[in-house]
Amino acid sequence: MEPEKTIKIAVTGAYGFIGSHVSEILSRSGYDVVRIGKEQFQESLKEAIANCDAIVHLAGMNRGPEQSVYETNIDLAKKLIAAIGTRKPHIIFSSSTQQRLDNPYGRSKQAAADLLKQWATQNGGSCTTLIIPNVFGDRCKPFYNSVVATFCHQLLNGETPTILEDKEIELVHVNTVAFHILRLLQQPPKTGEETIIGEKKIRVSKLLQTLQQFMELRKKQVIPDITDPFVRNLYTTLDSYATGSDRVHNPELKTDNRGWLFEAIKMEHAGQIFLSVTKPGVTRGQHFHFGKLEKFCVIQGEAIIRLEHPDTKEIIEYRVTGPSCVDIPVFHPHNIENVGQIDLLTLFWSSDIFDPTNPDTHPKTVGK
């Protein structure tokens, strides 16, 4: 159920990597989101969070001089508590799996979590601390806090990534974090810890290898198999770092006296889509496939699509006008003829990417 528009949520660090995603998803879900950036946090935090029902505290520092990192994260929690005063909004605090490690960043996150929990206990409020693993996704700053962002940036800029430590890391996509926060806000507030389980544990070397494979497929204008949600999220992250001409692909346009054709989309897991124009009176096809499944989708014009049964030799005709789609079964010789007065525009889907060394296309004229 969509929440009432009057529910007001403050998000600190709202213009950062995680904060921008959280703010957008909460806003799209019907909440009145108060976005608090660094300047507003320092100068007008009390006014900004006034009348807020909940505060998602994402502001923090995770890179820089160790003492500065440690002091900053604790100071942010103290300032937030002071700005809240006697009110009792539900606080959702973004911590990290580093909280359990003995380093300045981890200790600062633990100390901040303790302060916020203490505030909740003493004032009858509630604070949920989220323990979050390594977050990745679009718009994350390279060379800052995500090896995924750094690798994606380097690969798309022709640079050679370097592995400093080939350890196993636990990764979670930024949208997973944002939607977890959304679900927390839809539930009764509580004080305690919640751990967001990562979507994948992977060695840094394997991560880089996967991204490099994406790049090789990208050069061939092939979309990798993205049926696995983690792989999909990793690929969309890489794609988000493409800029300018990297976003433009110019497939080869094949022309002859019949019209033209080009391969529009190739998918490692789902074949390819190509588009053709066939001139009036022209017939395409006259072949069959052993294992390749196809769909002919007439978008514009009038066509007859013919199938010949491999055993009975019966010829089945489908007279179609756009938009209309016809399934082409295996072993059935088939063709498509433009019987209209204008160019025939057809979208074809094939279950396999065309391989010139093994095309699985066998000549056979329908009816002969």
Ordered per-residue pLDDT tens for the chain, 368 residues: 455 557 999 999 999 999 999 999 999 999 999 999 999 999 999 999 999 999 999 999 988 899 999 999 999 999 999 999 989 999 999 999 998 888 999 999 999 999 999 999 999 999 999 999 999 999 999 998 899 999 999 999 999 999 999 999 999 999 999 999 999 999 999 999 999 999 999 999 999 999 999 999 999 999 999 999 999 999 999 999 999 888 998 999 999 999 999 999 999 999 999 999 999 999 999 999 999 999 999 999 999 999 999 999 999 999 999 899 999 999 999 999 999 999 999 999 999 999 999 999 999 999 99
- How many Cβ atoms from other residues are within 10 Å of residue 129's Cβ? 24
**pLDDT score recorded for residue 63:** 85
**pLDDT score recorded for residue 246:** 87
Distance between CA atoms of residues 87 and 124, nearest Å: 10
- Helical axes 17-28 vs 174-185, angle rounded to 10°: 50
Domain residue spans of the chain: 8-210, 254-363
CATH architecture observed for domain 254-363: Sandwich (2.60)
**pLDDT score recorded for residue 288:** 97
**pLDDT score recorded for residue 1:** 43
The answer to whether 202 touches 169, Cβ cutoff 8 Å, is yes
Distance between CA atoms of residues 232 and 366, nearest Å: 41
CATH architecture observed for domain 8-210: 3-Layer(aba) Sandwich (3.40)
Q: What percent of the chain has pLDDT over 70?
A: 99
Q: Where are the beta strands (DSSP E) in 214-314?
A: 222-223, 254-256, 259-267, 271-278, 283-288, 294-300, 302-308
Report how far apart, in Å, the C-alpha atoms of 253 and of each of 50, 215, 259, 274, 275 are. 60, 23, 10, 11, 10
**pLDDT score recorded for residue 2:** 57
Would you say the C-alpha torsion 242, 245, 246, 250 has a positive or negative sign? positive
